[in-house]
Structure 1
Amino acid sequence: VQEAASESLVATVGVIQHLQGFPASLIATFQDSAFDAFLSASHVTTILSLSIVVIAALLVGFGLPNIQAPTQGHAPSGPADDPMDALVKEEGAAYAQEAAQEYEQKEKTE
């Protein structure tokens, strides 16, 4: 009976309701002490959870570096006449045509 009553508040109330032959004042005392124990455990859990959240917020607020979002005009820029840029543009412009030709050749061979 004690093991079932110590599992949860609902189980405790169920055990108390099945007590027969005990005075009503004793049953009320058991029920009140069960509710008090539940509320005490609930308060401890709430305080611990709040403490963890506050500590995490402080770590994030003070521990993380301050990162500024980039604004327009601050983008890194390379040399204006970079030969690689010209090569990429040239190959990118012809890619659609080359891919279409390759797909047509694959369809003809299949």
Structure 2
Amino acid sequence: MKGDWLQPGTHLDLIGSFRPTMREADDQCVRRGTIFIDTPQALRESGDLTQPMDAGLLTPDDIAGTLPDLCAGTIPGRRTQEEITVFKSVGSALADLTAASVVYRSHGGARAGSSRR
């Protein structure tokens, strides 16, 4: 994604890069957006963040907060209609387990009192 493509009010989810050598978005995306991350690991694992930090374009203090902070309401999300927001996820085992649990249960797994034969 090119930062020049981002219009006011855009929200961008970056969920593909999970290594320091991988990028989904250019430096302009992270410079223009208010950045939220899923976990602090993103600052060490994603090239979308590590590369701009290495270049001096981004610091950990530039991160607005984490997904748990947003969900708990301890930090604000979008503050204006024009604000550009960026969410960077590198994934977590807990998120994977939760998704697997939802899928399993939606297909009849783990019913109370049921037995499989």
Q: TM-score, normalised by structure 2?
A: 0.27
Structure with bigger RCO (C-alpha 8 Å, 6+ apart): 2
Structure with a larger share of its residues in strand: 2
Structure with a larger share of its residues in helix: 1
